[in-house]
Amino acid sequence: MKLLKFSVHDEITELEVDIKSIKFIRKTLEKLCDKKGLNQLECVCNWTLEGYEINCYGFTEGGDTIRNTHVLPPYGDVLPIIQLYGCIFMVAVNGNKIRDLHIFEYAMLHYLNDDGDDSDDGDDGDDGGDME
């Protein structure tokens, strides 16, 4: 089964992992994590894509040195306001079965949930013209 791992520096890796059951997912993911937060790894949010769920696993407590810089995709109309620490994992689930998740599918999730609003690009709308 393939899943995605994001390092604290937002480097993405597609990993091949042998997971027998979804109930052992956290234990398996923690073994794959080289930088861990202060609490237990947990499923912090999820998205639906083409009939299956993409679950995000991460640590919600930690220090600044292991703050993860990855920006999660929007969830509906809002960005998830979750600060994660250490490794972040994305796992695709269909029912109770884990399925492969590829980088291109995660990219599609970002694309489909992007509302096209570039309002945070630093452009204040001032084109330099005088208003007098």
Note the pLDDT of residue 73: 87
Q: Would the CA dihedral through 28, 12, 16, 55 be positive or negative? A: positive
Q: What is the mean pLDDT of the chain?
A: 84
Note the pLDDT of residue 109: 85
Give the rounded percent of residues in the chain with a pLDDT score beyond 70. 80
pLDDT digits (tens, 9 = 90+) for 60-110: 999 999 999 998 988 766 666 789 999 999 999 998 889 999 999 999 887
β-strand partners of 60? none
Pairing of strands 52-59, 85-94: antiparallel
pLDDT digits (tens, 9 = 90+) for 100-113: 999 999 998 877 76
For residue 51, CA distances in Å to 19, 22, 75, 95, 99 come to 21, 18, 16, 10, 12
CB 37 within 8 A of CB 61: yes
In degrees, to the nearest 5, what angle opens at C-alpha 124 toward C-alphas 122 and 128?
Answer: 120
